[in-house]
């Protein structure tokens, strides 16, 4: 950076990028009231205790200014207008016995055999009150998910669960793990403005 850094838009972009990076790097913690469950190549135990998920349309940005998922704003969304790819994420709460907190698990809304969602749907019991222990890890670009018998040491802390349920009753929106930006902010990203221009001709 040099002394030419007067442009207010440039400042806005950097601020926005930092916010987005934080949201992405922290797995959503920058914007969300709950952290995103991080599942890497090592197995992570996660307890499903609430079968009420939210379905969230998102776009993925990978420009110099932005990186990560953004919520699609629906009608009038300029990312849709610029023909950015649109996915649906299914987000639901899980209890992580390692961190002793409720986290959000987000998977693609793809139900073909072997997909994360298909595996989870297969494991779920019929009783919504039943808690199910999943052992998840990432294999290549997909997840390997197993059901495990729950040892007492991994049973959710009831206080933590009750706290989450109370928050949800008060209107906690699970979709907020994905940042939403208004069209004016998005138009400040040169790539988006250019693609939009192409789309309009
Ligand atoms: Zn959109």
pLDDT tens string 120-158: 999 988 887 889 999 999 988 789 999 999 999 999 999
Compute, in angstroms, the gap from residue 165 CA to the centroid of ligand 1.
Answer: 30
Mean pLDDT of the residues in the chain: 84
Distance 116 CA to ligand 1 centre (A): 24
CB neighbours of 106 closer than 8 A, spacing ≥ 6?
Answer: 36, 37, 56, 89, 90, 91, 177
User: Lowest mean pLDDT: which of 12-16, 181-185, 195-199?
Assistant: 12-16
With cut-offs at 50, 70 and 90, classify the pLDDT of residue 5: low
Helix H segments across the chain? Answer: 8-25, 78-81, 116-123, 158-169, 183-187, 190-200
In the reported structure, the alpha carbon of residue 174 is separated from the centroid of ligand 1 by a whole-number distance in angstroms of 18
What is residue 168's predicted lDDT score, i.e. its pLDDT?
92
CA 31 – ligand 1 centroid, Å: 19
For tokens 């205790």, the residue is 49
Q: What is the pLDDT of residue 200?
A: 56
Give the Å distance between the CA of 187 and the centre of ligand 1.
13
Q: Where are the domains of the chain?
A: 8-200
Task: Please give the pLDDT value at position 142.
Answer: 85
Task: Tokens 């019929």: give the residue.
Answer: 126
pLDDT band at 14 (very low <50, low <70, confident <90, very high): low
Give residue 28's pLDDT band: very low, low, confident or very high (50, 70, 90). Answer: very low
Distance (angstroms) between ligand 1 centre and the Cα of 76 equals: 8
155 CA distance to ligand 1 middle (Å)? 39
**pLDDT of 113 over the 80 cut:** yes
pLDDT for residue 135: 97
How far away, in angstroms, is 13 Cα from ligand 1 center? 20
Give the Å distance between the CA of 9 and the centre of ligand 1.
Answer: 23
pLDDT band for position 16 (50/70/90)?
Answer: low
Confidence of residue 46 (pLDDT cuts 50, 70, 90): very high
- How far is ligand 1, taken at its centre, from the CA of residue 5, in Å? 31
């Amino acid at each position: 950076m040099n002394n030419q850094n007067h442009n207010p838009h440039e400042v806005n972009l950097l601020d926005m990028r930092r916010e987005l990076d934080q949201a992405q790097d922290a797995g959503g913690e920058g914007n969300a009231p709950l952290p995103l469950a991080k599942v890497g190549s090592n197995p992570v135990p996660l307890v499903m205790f609430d079968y009420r998920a939210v379905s969230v349309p998102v776009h993925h940005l990978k420009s110099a200014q932005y990186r990560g998922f953004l919520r699609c704003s629906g009608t009038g969304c300029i990312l849709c207008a610029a023909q950015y790819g649109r996915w649906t994420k299914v987000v639901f709460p899980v209890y992580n016995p390692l961190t002793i907190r409720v986290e959000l698990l987000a998977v693609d809304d793809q139900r073909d055999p072997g997909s994360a969602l298909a595996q989870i749907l297969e494991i779920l019991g019929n009783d919504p009150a039943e808690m199910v222990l999943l052992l998840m890890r990432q294999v290549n670009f997909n997840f390997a998910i197993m059901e495990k018998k729950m040892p007492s040491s991994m049973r959710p802390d009831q206080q933590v669960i009750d706290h989450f349920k109370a928050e949800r009753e008060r209107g906690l929106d699970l979709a907020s793990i994905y940042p939403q930006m208004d069209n004016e902010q998005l138009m400040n990203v040169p790539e988006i403005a250019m693609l939009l221009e192409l789309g309009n001709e």
